[in-house]
Amino acid sequence: MHDDDALPIKDRTAIVGVGQTAFAKHLEQPEKVLALEAILIALEDAGIDPSEVDGLSSYTMEGTEEIEIARNLGMDAVTWFSQVGYGGGAGCGVVGNAAMAVAAGQCNVAVAWRSRKRGAAASRPWAGVRDQVHGNQQWSRPFGLLRPVDEIAVLTRRYMHEFGATREHLCNVATAVRSHANRNPGAMMHAKELTRDQYMGARWISEPLCLFDNCLESDGAGAVVIVRRDRADDCRQQPVYIHSFAQSIPAQHQTMTNYFNDDPLVGPSYACAELLWRHADFGAHDIDVAQLYDAFSPLVILSLEGYGFCDRGEGAGFTDGNTLGLEGRLPVNTSGGGLSEAYVHGFNLIVEGVNQMRGQSCSQVEGAETCLVTSGEGVPTSALLLRN
């Protein structure tokens, strides 16, 4: 047994409410309204009045400030608020930081959220590209690595070269995740099946990555409510405990164009996983279901390695035999994830993790007791272990 006093996070807090708006290529409401809608749904789900919220946690890329959230929802004094950077790497950190604040007594009811419209320039890091490129991107953008997909295509090619991975493996990820979306009426790709032939015939976006290796472009928002364990028992839904939480910026990391450290294929997930598992009572082999950040299909393969489901270089082969499907060893992205449900910087992965632990997923893994949720691989990242 661990000394729980030495681990002030472990199981001390729970997610007691989740909320999501509809997801679509275009929604009429502004980002602010989507954020308020998602938060309101999450608080109703928990059975907690908005006036009780005193902690707010979001992404640095979030377009709506905390003061807007607080005064629209009629919150009383908010005593803790914070933001996490690096886009898709932030999600689990946003929730984990809120859990730390709740566990430390800096607030009692924390809300974490993300609202995102694809038309909003601030939400898309590459949409601000100008003819003069500043900072880290001056080393890559002038040469035509313009979009996140181009940056990840470079890593993918190297991975294929070193380990003999092929497009068949990327296709394994894309089709498994799509099959989950086909069971989720809220997924943008709910009605669209994806066959291996369609995948192989798809147009290139940035070789070796094709259309179906890329996440969707979505409008939408998600929110979760975090309280202390003792408070969780009074809430409307079954509590889902935050068992462990970690973030990482690994040595010599450069976000997205992470080509400058000794081994760029050992990504941020490795360092994040080390802390995550060290603070946990269980390991990768005990995980029943996982929500692995999937802005691009190869990130799932890199995360399988980083979080220890297989050894380095074995992530591609791990996907063979429909391992990631509902009947497989490790069902992954069971709502359809960023590839096939919606892309809201990974926040829907957190909501789906909670749904699995409640037994409420559209692709419910029978008897699931543990869920790993991860945020962006390839950027400073974060992860959560959830249990019921």
Partner 1 sequence: MMPMLLPAPDDDSRAFWAYCAAGELRVQRCASCGRRRMPPRPMCPSCRSFDAEWELLSGRGTVWSFAVPHPPLLPAYAEQAPYGVIVVALDEDPTLRMVGNLVTEAGAPLNSVDPHTIEVGEPVEVVFAPVERAEGEDLLALPQWRRR
Binding site for partner 1 (CB under 8 A): 129-136, 138-147, 149-151, 153-155, 157-158, 161, 203-208, 252, 254, 257, 259-262
Min dist. Cβ of residue 147 to partner 1 (A) = 7
Min dist. Cβ of residue 162 to partner 1 (A) = 9
257 versus 348: smaller Cβ distance to partner 1: 257
Min dist. Cβ of residue 145 to partner 1 (A) = 5
Question: Annotated catalytic residue: which of 86, 241, 270, 343?
Answer: 343
Q: How far apart, in whole angstroms, are the C-alpha atoms of residue 132 and residue 334?
A: 41
Min dist. Cβ of residue 206 to partner 1 (A) = 5
Q: How far apart, in whole angstroms, are the C-alpha atoms of residue 163 and residue 157?
A: 10
3-state DSSP call for residue 36? helix
Min dist. Cβ of residue 373 to partner 1 (A) = 29
- Strand pairing category for 381-387 and 240-248: antiparallel
142 versus 321: smaller Cβ distance to partner 1: 142
Cis peptide before 208 (omega within 30 of 0): yes
Q: Pull the structure tokens for residue 34.
A: 């989507």
52 versus 217: smaller Cβ distance to partner 1: 217
59 versus 163: smaller Cβ distance to partner 1: 163
Is the CA virtual torsion 167, 169, 172, 177 positive or negative? Answer: negative
User: Which DSSP state fits 124?
Assistant: -
Min dist. Cβ of residue 25 to partner 1 (A) = 15
Tracing tokens 């992205």 back to the chain, one arrives at: 333
3-state DSSP call for residue 231? helix
Q: Which residues pair with 220 in a beta bridge?
A: 116
Apex 269 CA angle, 326 and 119, nearest 5: 75
Report DSSP letters for 360-385, one per residue: --TTPPTT--EEEEE--TTSSEEEEE
253 versus 387: smaller Cβ distance to partner 1: 253
Q: Which of 26, 19, 24, 22 is nearest to 50 (CA)?
A: 19
Strand ranges, E, within 34-88: 55-59, 80-84
Helix H, strand E, coil C: the string for 308-363 is CCCCCCCHHHHCCCCCCCCCCCCCECCCCHHHHHCCCCCHHHHHHHHHHHHCCCCC
- Tell me if residue 159 is catalytic: no
71 versus 158: smaller Cβ distance to partner 1: 158
Q: Pull the structure tokens for residue 260.
A: 């400058």
In single-letter form, the type of residue at position 223 comes to A
Contacts of 164 (CB under 8 A, 6+ apart): 316
22 versus 205: smaller Cβ distance to partner 1: 205
3-state DSSP call for residue 86? coil
- Tell me if residue 293 is catalytic: yes
Question: Annotated catalytic residue: which of 159, 270, 293, 307?
Answer: 293
Min dist. Cβ of residue 161 to partner 1 (A) = 5
- Catalytic annotation, residues: 293, 343
